[in-house]
Amino acid sequence: MKNKAEVVVVGGGVMGCSILYNLARRGVTDALLVEREALGAGSTGRSSGVVRMHYSSEVNARLAWKSLEILRNFGELVGGDSGFVNTGFMLFVPPEALDSFEKNIAMQQSIGIDTRIVSQEEAREIAPYMQVEDAAGICYEPQSGYADPPGVGQGYAAAARDLGAQISLENPALDVEVKGGRVAAVLTAKGRIETDTAVIAAGPWTGRLMKKLGFDLPLTPTRHEVIFLKRSIESLPTHPVVGDLVHMVYFRPEGPDLTLIGDMDVEVEADPDEYDQKAGMDFVEEMWPRVVRRLPALEEAEYFTGYAGLYTNTPDGHPIIDRVEGIEGLYICTGFNGHGFKESPAVGIVVSELMVDGEATTVDISTLGMGRFKAGTLNPINYAAKVIG
Ligand SMILES: Cc1cc2nc3c(=O)[nH]c(=O)nc-3n(C[C@H](O)[C@H](O)[C@H](O)COP(=O)(O)OP(=O)(O)OC[C@H]3O[C@@H](n4cnc5c(N)ncnc54)[C@H](O)[C@@H]3O)c2cc1C
């Protein structure tokens, strides 16, 4: 590992890898990413990979919309395979969410997102195996789907290496050395790396690193389970990606005959170094009936497997992408709750703009500052903010 770099990126999740690539693409090739374990070892490797545009804030919707273009054309624009599968996305909402839902759709349409409210009749035509009667509102995004989070991270990492960036694995950053109010070095398990610029993108571990630097940010790692059911492809060949706010469950197809299922309402704080990475049978029993209410054919499915991973929650369900106040040369990119993967291509772009040009221009990220918690200027929380954003 080299002992000097123009920029050090801390964390090899999809955000760190996207940042590393976008910096290199902008000419910052003397960049080094340090990763505690392996690329994708954090939230990224356990992500459900849903790619949809339905958000309640413009900043999240714009980040996702810009990212979709890249995820769809990943091989050509970055290299490698994003694993994007265009299944379409449907959101089902209960009566109490209808007002926010309609406002969100209008906002998304105003920025050009391909989404529309559909009638129950149209929803049945799009997804004939779905029960739709209990939803007060349904929308459809024909261009959405799902992709492969670790594959996207690896694609960015490989492309960044091709441009000259370097990656040091099994090498946790222990601290950031600050001298005279600016970054002097990143201290890692494998040695000191002299640098004047660093970005912390350490997912659920970011709060701990920031605490060492004197910042107490409201970043909470929470544990989320995911299960897979194996369905009969005769009775249910496939289905779109679904976010179901009526039954608080999301699901998507995986490969030819599996359905991935996750919850939209459970929040259990967890220690990132020590949490139960398996899905519990109580979760299977809780989720299965919920998904059957929307997809009755899954009643006959078989339980296949499950696991758990971590979100990095913030009080307003929005990430933190900013300069670190008071430490010249230090940046932070974290707090993506349960919806960061689909934004990662655009996040790498805006972070590289912030670091190289001093300002993000592709998407206005001024509402994602780390000072908003103390200032009380949180982003408005709409329904299911932690999951929908
Ligand atoms: C179960 C689950 C389902 C999800 N589903 C979706 C979804 O469907 N769609 C979607 O868009 N998003 C989803 N997400 C969210 C998405 O996966 C995350 O927002 C995204 O992966 C965050 O990426 P990251 O790079 O910020 O964090 P991470 O992937 O956690 O990466 C951080 C990296 O930093 C490393 N690290 C930590 N500390 C240090 C240190 N001191 N030094 C060096 N390295 C360090 C870690 O090992 C890790 O590799 C889901 C998440 C989970 C857990």
pLDDT digits (tens, 9 = 90+) for 122-173: 999 999 999 999 999 999 999 999 999 999 999 999 999 999 999 999 999 9
Residue 144 C-alpha from the chain's centroid? 15
- How does DSSP classify residue 271? B
d(CA 365, CA 321) in angstroms, rounded, equals 7
In this prediction, residue 312 carries a pLDDT of 97
Which distant-in-sequence residues (6+ apart) come within 8 Å of 68 by Cβ? 51, 53, 143, 144, 342
Q: State which ligand 1 atom lies nearest to the alpha carbon of 204.
A: 30
Q: Which two tokens stand for residue 252?
A: 């998507």
Gap from CA of 37 to ligand 1 centroid (Å)? 13
Indicate whether 119 pLDDT > 80.
yes
Q: Atom 35 in ligand 1: which residue has the minimum CA distance? A: 11
Which distant-in-sequence residues (6+ apart) come within 8 Å of 142 by Cβ? 88, 114
d(CA 15, CA 104) in angstroms, rounded, equals 26
The answer to whether the CB of 355 falls within 8 A of the CB of 367 is no
CA atoms within 13 A on the CB side of 139: 28
Domain boundaries, the chain: 7-47+150-219+316-388, 88-143+221-313
- Choosing from 47, 212, 318 the residue with most ligand 1 atoms within 8 A of its CB, the one to mutate for a pocket test is 47
Assess if CATH 3.30.70.580 describes domain 7-47+150-219+316-388.
no
pLDDT digits (tens, 9 = 90+) for 57-78: 999 999 999 999 999 999 999 9
Q: State which ligand 1 atom lies nearest to the alpha carbon of 312.
A: 19
Q: Which two tokens stand for residue 307?
A: 């696991």
Gap from CA of 32 to ligand 1 centroid (Å)? 19
pLDDT digits (tens, 9 = 90+) for 35-58: 999 999 999 999 999 999 999 999
Query: Which residue has better confidence, 356 or 381?
Result: 356
Average pLDDT over residues 106-117: 97
Asked whether 334 lines ligand 1 (CB < 6 A), one says: yes
d(CA 344, CA 18) in angstroms, rounded, equals 7
pLDDT digits (tens, 9 = 90+) for 235-263: 899 999 999 999 999 999 999 999 999 99
Asked whether 223 lines ligand 1 (CB < 6 A), one says: no
In this prediction, residue 380 carries a pLDDT of 82
Q: Atom 46 in ligand 1: which residue has the minimum CA distance? A: 42
Q: State which ligand 1 atom lies nearest to the alpha carbon of 40.
A: 49
Distances in whole angstroms, Cα of residue 155 to Cα of each of 21, 150, 340, 355: 9, 8, 17, 22
How many Cβ atoms are within 10 Å of 52's Cβ, its own excluded?
28
Burial of 241 (0-12, 13-18, 19+ CB in 10 A): buried
Asked whether 53 lines ligand 1 (CB < 6 A), one says: no
Assess if CATH 3.30.9.10 describes domain 88-143+221-313.
yes
Gap from CA of 72 to ligand 1 centroid (Å)? 21
Asked whether 310 lines ligand 1 (CB < 6 A), one says: yes
Average pLDDT over residues 184-208: 98
Backbone angles phi, psi at 35, to 5 degrees: -125, 130
Asked whether 49 lines ligand 1 (CB < 6 A), one says: yes
Kind and range of the H or E run holding 332:
strand 330-334
- Alpha helices by DSSP H, the chain: 14-25, 58-72, 74-77, 98-110, 120-126, 149-162, 206-212, 281-294, 344-357, 372-375, 385-388
Gap from CA of 98 to ligand 1 centroid (Å)? 31
Average pLDDT over residues 23-42: 98
Asked whether 328 lines ligand 1 (CB < 6 A), one says: no
d(CA 347, CA 360) in angstroms, rounded, equals 10
Q: State which ligand 1 atom lies nearest to the alpha carbon of 15.
A: 25
Gap from CA of 44 to ligand 1 centroid (Å)? 4
Average pLDDT over residues 23-45: 98
Asked whether 389 lines ligand 1 (CB < 6 A), one says: no
Q: State which ligand 1 atom lies nearest to the alpha carbon of 188.
A: 42
pLDDT digits (tens, 9 = 90+) for 272-314: 999 999 999 999 999 999 999 999 999 999 999 999 999 999 9
Asked whether 186 lines ligand 1 (CB < 6 A), one says: no
Q: State which ligand 1 atom lies nearest to the alpha carbon of 172.
A: 42
Residues 211-227 as b/e (b if ≥16 CB within 10 A, e otherwise) read: eeeebebebbbbbbbbb
